[in-house]
């Protein structure tokens, strides 16, 4: 099939492109390269450098939509810009998909940003939605827009904290990607707050598998992509430092304003529906990721 992947030069998107190419699909990538890297794009994919708000949809079978304004802090500083990209830009893409007769639309959403602080854990798809940032509001808002389009089968994948090779510590900030080069260099790393805040860290290969399942499935709606395992930031640092052989203790800085204390997603519904394997264990995923970052 012909698949259009927006944000396909980025961390997660480029891994999805590789998987699609490997199974014989034709892939077109749309990316403005503001945070993505041309070097990430599979040479067998067609790259169109453009803003998602200007993207045109031709004869494609499926759209996998990962292009976004991804910085939560920027969404707080400029919520109008965040909404222009993440809501209006996405609506334009979905509207073009409907007019072009696209069969399926898979959207990269965010579990942690949509649910807010857990009322119960792990958070299932029925957990109350309480976004704590404009970024989370935008993701949830577009999910509602997707429900209005009857002619396109839409699936929203609500990601936990994704990590893995190619993650960009600048454009697609994640603590694993920020720490990895510093740990290899023996430099001090910074933990904001007490470090007892927890997250659900899901390896990028599991996210790719979820996307392939969403492309091939006959279901629609919103699904979590997570491990159901909470890991504190302190425990994450200790595990990464042990793998890298780093001994420098971390430095604690003030907490980030508005940061959630807990986030953990129950991803069992999609795994059962699509027959996906259990998630990659955190230590295994971190070993693969740290090896990629090894200088």
- Strand segments (E) across the chain: 2-6, 26-31, 46-49, 62-65, 104-110, 153-159, 161-163, 190-192, 198-199, 201-203, 221-225, 231-232, 251-253
Residue 11 buriedness (CB in 10 A; 0-12 / 13-18 / 19+): buried
Residue in the structure block whose two tokens are 């854990």: 121
Residue 92 buriedness (CB in 10 A; 0-12 / 13-18 / 19+): middle
Cα–Cα distance between 103 and 110 in angstroms, integer? 23
Cα–Cα distance between 17 and 263 in angstroms, integer? 28
Read off φ and ψ for residue 102, nearest 5 degrees.
-65, 135
Cα–Cα distance between 106 and 115 in angstroms, integer? 20
Count of CB atoms situated within 10 Å of the CB of 37: 15
Supply angle C-alpha 67, 72, 78, rounded to 5: 90
Catalytic, out of 135, 159, 163, 203 = 135
Token pair, residue 65, equals 């939509």
Token pair, residue 70, equals 């991804």
145 is known as an active-site residue: no
Active site residues: 135
């Amino acid at each position: 099939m012909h698949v259009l992947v927006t944000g396909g030069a980025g961390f997660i998107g480029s891994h999805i492109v590789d998987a699609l190419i490997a199974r014989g699909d034709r892939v077109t990538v749309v990316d403005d390269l503001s945070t993505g890297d041309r070097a990430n794009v599979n040479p067998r994919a067609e790259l169109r450098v453009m803003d998602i708000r200007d993207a045109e949809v031709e004869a494609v079978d499926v759209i996998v939509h990962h292009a976004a304004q991804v910085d939560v802090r920027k969404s707080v500083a400029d919520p109008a810009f965040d909404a222009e990209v993440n809501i209006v830009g996405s609506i334009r893409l979905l509207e073009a998909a409907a007019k072009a007769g696209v069969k399926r639309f898979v959207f990269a959403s965010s579990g942690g940003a949509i649910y807010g602080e857990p009322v119960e854990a792990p958070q299932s798809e029925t957990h109350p939605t309480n976004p704590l940032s404009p970024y989370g509001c935008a993701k949830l808002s577009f999910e509602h827009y997707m429900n209005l389009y009857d002619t396109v089968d839409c699936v929203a994948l609500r990601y936990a904290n994704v990590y893995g090779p190619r993650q960009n510590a600048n454009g697609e900030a994640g603590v694993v990607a920020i720490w990895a080069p510093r740990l290899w260099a023996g430099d001090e790393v910074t933990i904001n707050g007490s470090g007892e805040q927890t997250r659900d860290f899901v390896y990028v290969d599991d996210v790719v598998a979820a996307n392939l399942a969403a492309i091939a499935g006959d279901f629609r709606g919103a699904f979590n992509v997570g491990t159901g395992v909470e890991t504190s930031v302190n425990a994450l640092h200790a595990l990464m430092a042990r793998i890298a052989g780093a001994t420098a203790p971390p430095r604690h800085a003030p907490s980030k304003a508005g940061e959630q204390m807990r986030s953990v997603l129950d991803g069992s519904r999609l795994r059962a529906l699509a027959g996906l394997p259990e998630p990659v264990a955190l230590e295994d995923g971190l070993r693969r990721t740290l090896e990629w970052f090894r200088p």
